[in-house]
Amino acid sequence: MSSSEEVWNRIASEHPEFTHDHDVTNNSETVREIVLGGSVTWAGAHERFKPFPGARVMDLGANVGIYSAFCAIHGAEVTAYEPQPITFAFLSKMIERTGLAGRIKAINSAVWRWSGQFPFVGHEADIGGDYIQYNGGLHTNGVVWTMADFKNSVPVDCISFDEAIGDTTWDCVKVDIEGAEFEILLHASLAALERIKFMYVEFHPWVNEKWYRLVIERLQAIFKFEGYQSKEGSWEAAYLSKRN
């Protein structure tokens, strides 16, 4: 882990267009990971897709908008989905503070198997920064909720993956949605998936083995499939692009 000073010294040298105003929660570790490609998985994503003027980018699980901002300041047109109300407020604050409303369309919604509402549990995450960080997710396959979880859940608006994709061709779709990726990608239509030129997916380990296998097999059949595997051999992230 790098110090905040080290991170921002590198940002000033490598990405001076990205400023403290784009990091509304002052979380240099997340900036290091996403903007500087400071993790193996994000480094691989940056190698395969670089945002450019006019690129159409969908950010699923936008959180406070670090990747959305990174793409937008390079001229991309970004649609950012974030269901957690508190996190969405930070995302909206970043957009307002940086004048990126013309390039980032923020939607307070989850992307899911269908459109409607679905229970969501948010929780505080101690990952540094000046503000409390929030994370959370829908009730997905492989996740056991207690009665307290259901009691503490809140209904969030959801839009189906197919509806989110619509009739647009997307240059990049980034997916980091705390396990919901398996259910979404298993039920997405082939027509929707074929509208994506490049997709970066972070896989979360709690889905059951059957669903994990089905999703990986489906993606490998549709896309050119590259990725990063854990020491145990499971995929932690995938880089999916159209076959030539």
Distance, CA of 107 to CA of 166 (rounded, Å):
15
pLDDT digits (tens, 9 = 90+) for 193-234: 999 999 999 998 888 889 899 999 999 999 999 999 988 889
* Residue 191, amino acid: A
pLDDT of res. 127: 53
How high is the pLDDT of residue 208? 85
pLDDT given at position 120: 79
CB count, 10 Å around CB of 36? 19
pLDDT at residue 85, rounded to an integer = 87
Domain of 229? 4-241
- Non-local (6+) Cβ contacts of 49 within 8 A are 171, 172, 198, 200
pTM: predicted TM-score of the whole model, two decimal places? 0.92
Q: Given this model, what pLDDT does residue 142 score?
A: 66
Question: Would you state the pLDDT for residue 146?
Answer: 75
**How many other CB atoms are found less than 10 A from the CB of residue 104?**
25
Domain count, the chain: 1
DSSP annotation of 143 reads P
Q: Could you tell me if 70 and 32 are in contact, meaning their C-beta atoms sit under 8 angstroms apart?
A: no
Amino acid at 224: K
Residue in this structure with the two tokens 């930070």, named with its chain if needed: 90
Per-residue model confidence (pLDDT) at position 147: 80
Q: Which of the residues in the chain have pLDDT under 70?
A: 1-2, 122-139, 141-144
All residues at 6 or more sequence positions from 78 whose CB lies less than 8 Å from its CB, including other chains:
57, 58, 59, 68, 71, 72, 103, 104, 105
Q: Which pLDDT value is given to residue 163?
A: 97
Query: CATH number for the domain including 150?
Result: 3.40.50.150
Pick the closest to residue 89 from 24, 31, 138 (CA basis). 24
Distance CA(158)–CA(115), nearest Å, equals 5
